[in-house]
């Protein structure tokens, strides 16, 4: 059994690999069995963490809570939907234990103070602040009190709000990471905001990531190339599944390919190439694929070589075609046949 990564490495080890989070959110549609199935699927992708959302309807919502998009025919109100997404504390504990048995870090975004208390009892290793909660001081202070890292999503926030939240967390001594995030499902390429990766790194001097809702692997790969240390992407079994996030999710196969791409990029970044040293190792191939000078036609002894006298053929084991000017004007000691490789001793 593999052990989950220590998320604290993001702050303690600058060379730590990108931390990849598979976001389940409501993809389980209220089914505990489906939630467990997602844990198994996420573990097979190579992700570092699986993340849920912990909803306790009576603690976070009310009958006034309105639909952004009315997608669920079985739930009369948004409150009803959140109620259907609930799991009990023992069920959440089972999910956490299952994730850790699979070598995954278990994370969940809380949407109420009661959810924060529940997750703290479970022993989650870090907090994820959803973009709508960035200014929620009640939540932030409750998270700060635990001393655990806090991951902040910027989706719906003004920069001034992000500034204040990051400053609050840092002043309290909380390890903090920031996600560039655009609240659009799915998010088109022109709204991804890759430029924010470098800007947030400079502005906040902390690990920066991308929380992507494009439904494609491309933004995550680009973000890692630009220095992102965290990636969070929604995952789904299939785009034929039910749920509000399906169009903004990667399928399990796509997620696995994205993870492989991220790790490949990290290998490339950690392996700088010294071009001259690389070329030296290629000398046998350079000779094999290089071209050497040959006679363009039958040439008699005493022929003075012109450019028209010359052609070239593989392999590069004679006079290199690149050096043809060194034989121009020289006289042949003896006759040579067309296509015969020329050697320095053929000339006077």
Pairing of strands 127-129, 150-153: parallel
Question: What confidence tens digit (pLDDT) does each residue in 123-167 have?
Answer: 999 999 988 899 999 999 999 999 999 999 998 889 999 999 999
% helix / strand / coil in the chain, to the nearest 5?
40, 20, 40
- The pLDDT confidence band at residue 183, using thresholds 50, 70 and 90, is confident
pLDDT higher than 90, residue 329: yes
Does the pLDDT of residue 231 top 70, yes or no? yes
Identify the three-state secondary structure at position 289. helix
Can you tell me the mean pLDDT for 205-216?
96
Which two tokens mark 197? 């990766």
CA distance 189 to 217: 11
CB 293 within 8 A of CB 321: yes
CA of 25: how far to CAs of 159, 171, 212, in Å? 25, 30, 13
The residue that leads in pLDDT, 268 or 240, is 268
Range 281-292 average pLDDT? 77
Interval 10-21 mean pLDDT:
96
**Every domain of the chain and the residues it spans:** 9-269, 279-346
Overall fold of domain 279-346: Type Iii Antifreeze Protein Isoform Hplc 12 (3.90.1210)
pLDDT tens, position by position, 22-32: 999 999 999 99
Q: What is the mean pLDDT of residues 60-77?
A: 72
Mean pLDDT throughout 311-338?
93
Alpha helices in the chain, H assignment, sequence order:
9-12, 32-45, 57-60, 78-84, 89-101, 113-122, 137-144, 159-171, 195-204, 218-225, 252-269, 275-281, 283-289
**pTM of the predicted model over 0.75:** yes
What is the CATH class of 9-269? alpha beta
Q: How far out from the chain centre does Cα 258 lie?
A: 7
Give the Cβ contact number of residue 238 at 10 Å: 10
């Amino acid at each position: 059994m593999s052990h989950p990564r220590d998320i604290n490495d993001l702050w303690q080890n600058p060379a730590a690999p990108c931390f990849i989070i598979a976001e389940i959110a409501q993809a389980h549609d209220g089914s505990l069995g489906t939630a467990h199935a997602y844990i198994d699927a996420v573990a097979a992708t190579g992700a570092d963490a699986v993340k849920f959302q912990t909803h306790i309807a009576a603690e976070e919502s009310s009958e006034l809570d309105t639909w952004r998009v009315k997608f669920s025919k079985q739930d009369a109100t948004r409150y009803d939907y959140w109620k259907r997404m609930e799991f009990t504390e023992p069920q959440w504990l089972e999910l956490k234990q299952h994730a850790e048995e699979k070598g995954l870090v278990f994370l969940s975004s809380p949407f109420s103070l009661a959810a924060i208390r529940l997750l703290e009892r479970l022993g989650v290793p870090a907090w994820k602040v959803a973009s709508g909660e960035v200014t929620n001081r009640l939540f932030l202070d409750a998270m700060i009190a635990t001393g655990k890292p806090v991951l902040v999503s910027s989706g719906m926030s003004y920069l001034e709000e992000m500034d204040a939240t990051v400053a609050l967390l840092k002043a309290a001594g909380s390890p903090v990471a920031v996600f560039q995030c655009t609240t659009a499902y799915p998010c088109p390429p022109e709204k991804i905001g890759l430029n924010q990766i470098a800007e947030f790194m400079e502005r906040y001097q902390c690990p920066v990531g991308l929380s992507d809702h494009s439904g494609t692997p491309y933004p995550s790969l680009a973000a890692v190339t630009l220095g992102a240390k965290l990636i969070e992407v929604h995952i789904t079994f299939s785009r034929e599944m039910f749920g509000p996030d399906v169009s903004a999710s990667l399928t399990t196969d796509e997620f696995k390919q994205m993870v492989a791409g991220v790790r490949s990029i990290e290998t490339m970044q950690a392996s700088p190439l010294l071009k001259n040293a690389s070329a030296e190792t290629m000398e046998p191939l350079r000779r094999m694929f290089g071209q050497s000078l040959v006679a363009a036609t039958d040439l008699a002894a005493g022929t003075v070589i012109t450019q028209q006298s010359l052609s070239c053929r593989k392999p590069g084991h004679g006079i290199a075609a690149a050096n043809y000017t060194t034989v121009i004007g020289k006289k042949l000691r003896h006759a040579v046949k067309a296509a015969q490789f020329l050697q320095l001793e053929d000339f006077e």
